[in-house]
Amino acid sequence: MPRGAKRASVDVPRPEVIIDFNCTQGLLFILLKNIGARSAYNVRTVFDQPLRGIGGHKCISELQLFRCVEFIPPGKEFSQFVDPIAAWFKRGHPSRYAITIHYDDREGNSFAEHITHNLEIYEDLGTISYPGGSHG
């Protein structure tokens, strides 16, 4: 190995918990998911500002799902409805959220993921209309 070169570190499997948003057929959802290879424990989510949904009447960021989940196995995903996307923007909710997810692995190692989402990307997406009514 050349002098001063670093060895490639071997990736140790670990949990990796993320928050994501999804807009499907004009409906906005927030997702909490373990995309890692191992289970996550004591998962806590911190939002930089309240995330309000369901007509502006429910504080989504204060749900038990985001305060503490004791165990999330690999591949597990929780999906929470937020609002129809058109109604979301009409009410003037914030479009940027900085979110931090704290969690541990089985050995007690702690991790934190910092994710910023800009929901404006969903504002220009098309929606699907159905006979007898429309969504979005």
pLDDT per position as a tens digit, 53-79? 998 889 999 999 999 999 999 999 999
Q: Which residues touch 83 (CB under 8 Å, ≥6 apart)?
A: 27, 28, 53, 54, 55, 56, 91, 93
Cα angle 87, 24, 100; round to 5: 80
Q: Domains of the chain by range and CATH?
A: 17-122 (2.60.40)
The whole-model pTM stands at 0.82
The whole-angstrom separation of Cα 39 and Cα 14 is 8
The whole-angstrom separation of Cα 102 and Cα 20 is 15
Q: Could you read off the pLDDT of 67-118 as tens digits, one per residue?
A: 999 999 999 999 999 999 989 889 988 999 999 999 999 999 999 999 999 9
Query: What is the chain's alpha carbon radius of gyration, rounded to the nearest angstrom?
Result: 18
Query: Phi/psi of residue 86, each to 5°?
Result: -65, -40
| CA distance readout (Å), 61 to 38, 49, 57, 100 | 25, 8, 12, 12
